[in-house]
Amino acid sequence: MKKITLLFFTIIAFAFSFQANAQCNYTLEMNDSYGDGWNGNTMDVLVNGTAVLTGVTLADGSQGTMAFTVNDGDDVTTNWIGGGSYAYETSYRILNSVGGEVGAGAETSITTGTITASCPTCTQVVSNSETVIPDCGNSQFSVDVDVATVGDGTFITDGLGGSFAIVNGIVTAGPYATSSTVTLTVEHSDGACDYSLGDFSYDLCPSIVICGTPTNSTYCYNDYDTTMFAYQSSDGSVLKVTFNAGGIESCCDDLVILDSDGVTELYRGANGGDLTGVTATATGDTIYVGVDSDVSSSCDSGAQTPQWDWDVVCLACTSGEATATVIENCGASTYTIQVDVTTVGDATDITDGTTTLPFTGTQTFGPYAFGVNTTLDVVHSDSACDFALGTYTFAACPPANDDCANAEALIPSATAAIVWVTGTTSGNTASGEVADVDVSCGSFGSGRDTWYSVEVPASGEITIETQASTGSSLTDTTVSVFSGTCGAMAGTEIACNDDGGTGAFSLIALTGQTAGAILYVRVQEYGAAAARGPQDGPFEIAAYATDPTLSTQNFDKGLAFTYYPNPVNNSLSLRGLNTIQNVAIYNMLGQEVLRTAPNTVDSNIDMSNLQPGTYFVQVMVENATKTIKVIKK
């Protein structure tokens, strides 16, 4: 999306200064018509055939400058290299020591003999800034020039007959009629030092809103439009803007509403392409309504309808103020909204459209199901003050295996009979186990991830694969496999895959691994945007091998334990030589049905609530694991 920066009131100027000698600075000014830099195109600047700026480019934005030193009589040339994309958007200028253009090009070079450097031998005025001073009561404005160095300066002129003596400090030029444009020039005793301060205008004198009568405005915005409308109440009352209609390009154009200070944004956005119902209330007696559009698809081009239509009214009441906090209940998959009232004002109630509560103290709304949007409206004795406190939701709580320490164990299945396990990225957070540099594929984004562990079969081969889950909005994963331990995972990546599976899902086939080794599998939604959204959801994951038989070598590492009885009636007893850290039980589908952390050498596992059948019991001792098969009667 390409944007145009909205400038407001104060313009900071570049100051040019030099001493009385034959050397001075010239400037390369690089421009891009689309505002996204030169997209890899480059050029050289040469003085007397020697490059002084080599392979330079505009990295981003619509304009950038670079200075270089010249002497009187030097021959200045350029070498256009190009080599990037969208070169037709690029252009450049060579400016002399006082900011005047002495050469220019667009995808072309400047040849020898075109620019001969000339350095004035006078001292220029140095200006810190130029500030437009509005006088709306008299429909005029002036310009304050903050002079830091007088040098050989004499007057600031406006080309309209105005001449203002240059002194240290503030020099005021004007006044000029509102909406007119004036060009200010700094003149010196030696005209070689003269330069332009630029063009100045002011057209933001506010329309006066007569309190008691709404002021209606309409506007059809253009491409590259930064028009701003100002409003001021007739009696000092607070102002409120309400949009009745308005089409806008939802991806790339913005409605901008500024508070009374002309800086604080009360609203910036497109409301999904329809501005109907957008409201904003100022904190004072002035409010600004403007547009910030890109290069195409405007109202004026016919692409956006209807034209904007809005009312500005004075508020005779005092708006209530409150904050809202979303509180999740993961066990019930619901959330509530706690509202804390800070200022009652003329507010009476707050409602979610179904439940209405008094606007006082602390109020709680809900519970609401995860994923449901809830809008709270504050109601006043005068409806002109009514406003939406906000729209709230909670997507999901983090999955149980959100962190490496709680990695879900995958039981390897046979390639001929793959067992898929359902996981999810909904609600997951950044574990912090690894950084972008530790993941060699995909797009790391915010680092939100989900973790699994798997024991390498005796064959030393294991394949990890993800696939789509029916009905899920998750369509793209990135998977990495690590050999480290939780808390020390950085730099231990074994393999990474983005789109090796079906569609945009992932597949990693490992060979030559150490039998019995515990590998950790990190799964993330591609790009993992910081704000969890509709791209997240369930997925399927499997670990499989041609021969998934697990190794028994972990017993050599002090993992030995006994277990009984088998078959089990209600309780499985485990007796270890060392502390039993974790026990996880899986059914024949690979689904985890029970997990516990005994942290003792002896443990009794209650299996009374499990259905009769065959189960795999994964036991972790001293960070090594062993999987056994038991029968539940």
pLDDT digits (tens, 9 = 90+) for 37-60: 999 999 999 999 999 999 999 999
Ranges of CATH 2.60.60 domains, the chain:
23-117
**What's the rounded Cα separation, in Å, for the pair 80 and 38?**
12
Q: Write down the pLDDT at residue 4.
A: 31
pTM for the complete prediction?
0.49
Q: Which CATH architecture has domain 561-632?
A: Sandwich (2.60)
Quick one: pLDDT at residue 568? Answer: 86
How many residues comprise the chain?
A: 633
| Confidence category of residue 531, pLDDT binned at 50, 70, 90 | low
The domain defined by 207-315 carries CATH number 2.60.120.290: yes
Residue 521 pLDDT > 70 = yes
The C-alpha angle with vertex 543 and arms to 542 and 549, in degrees rounded to 5, equals 140
Q: Residues spanned by CATH 2.60.120.380 within the chain? A: 404-544
* pLDDT greater than 90 at residue 79: yes
> Which residue(s) pair with 32 in the sheet?
90
Least confident of 246-250, 499-503, 621-625: 621-625
Report the sign of the C-alpha dihedral through residues 95, 51, 58, 10, in that order. negative
Higher pLDDT, 590 or 222: 222
Give me the pLDDT at residue 104, please: 96
Identify which has the larger pLDDT, 609 or 564: 609
Residue 472's pLDDT band (cuts 50, 70, 90)? very high
Would the pLDDT of 481 be above 80?
yes
For residue 121, the model assigns a pLDDT of 83
Fold of 126-202: Immunoglobulin-like (2.60.40)
Instruction: Return the CATH number of the domain spanning residue range 23-117.
Output: 2.60.60
Which tens digit of pLDDT belongs to each residue from 319-330?
899 999 999 998
In sequence order, the β-bridge partners of residue 311 are 216, 242
Q: pLDDT category, 578, cuts 50, 70, 90?
A: confident
Residues 605-618 have a mean pLDDT of 89
Distance between CA atoms of residues 593 and 89, nearest Å = 61
Is the pLDDT at 511 greater than 80, yes or no? yes
Q: Which band of pLDDT confidence, cut at 50, 70 and 90, is reported for residue 16?
A: very low
Q: Is the pLDDT of residue 464 over 80?
A: yes
Mean pLDDT lowest among 147-161, 262-276, 277-291, 563-577: 563-577
Q: Is the pLDDT of residue 557 over 50?
A: no
Longest dimension (CA), the chain: 106
pLDDT digits (tens, 9 = 90+) for 341-352: 999 999 999 999
Residue 560: per-residue pLDDT? 65
- Contact residues for 96 (Cβ-Cβ < 8 A; gap 6+): 24, 26, 102, 117, 118
Q: How far apart are CA 273 and CA 291, in angstroms?
A: 13
Domain with CATH 2.60.120.290 in the chain: 207-315
Question: Are 520 and 453 spatial neighbours (Cβ–Cβ below 8 Å)?
Answer: yes
The correct answer on CATH 2.160.10.10 for the domain covering 404-544 is: no
pLDDT surpassing 60 at residue 98: yes
Taking the C-alpha atoms of residue 53 and residue 55, their distance in angstroms, rounded to an integer, is: 7
Strands (E), 374-517: 374-380, 387-392, 408-410, 413-414, 421-424, 450-455, 462-468, 477-482, 493-497, 507-510
Which pLDDT value is given to residue 539?
96
Is the pLDDT reported for residue 392 higher than 90?
A: yes
**Lookup: tokens for 82:** 């190009």
**How many H-runs (helices) and E-runs (strands) does the chain carry?**
0, 48
